[in-house]
Amino acid sequence: MKLFYTGPVVNAEMLVLMLEKHGIAATQSFVDAAAPDDGDLSRPAQVSVPEADFARAHQLFYAEREDEL
């Protein structure tokens, strides 16, 4: 697995769902796993994707889209 994103858990959860819709099995974990899960949506989280899918995931979410021009 390769780190794909680090940010608020609310964004990480949405990203995992969107990646799954594209057939990419992403996983989410908290940056500080020892901290209590108090429901804070801004708590830092990480999203990882399989190394084989990293380039495709990056293309889907970070590449400039020509159809938006």
Single pTM value for the model = 0.85
The count of residues in the chain is 69
Rounded Cα gap, residues 50 and 20, in angstroms:
12
- Average pLDDT on 51-62 reads 93
Give the tens place of pLDDT for each residue, 4-17.
Answer: 999 999 999 999 99
Class of domain 2-33+41-68: alpha beta
What is the rounded distance in angstroms from the CA atom of residue 33 to the CA atom of residue 29?
7
Mean pLDDT of 34-53: 92
Percent of the chain's residues with pLDDT above 70: 93
Predicted confidence at residue 62, as pLDDT, reads: 85
HSE at residue 41, side-chain half, CA atoms within 13 A, is: 4
* Separation of alpha carbons 27 and 19, rounded Å: 10
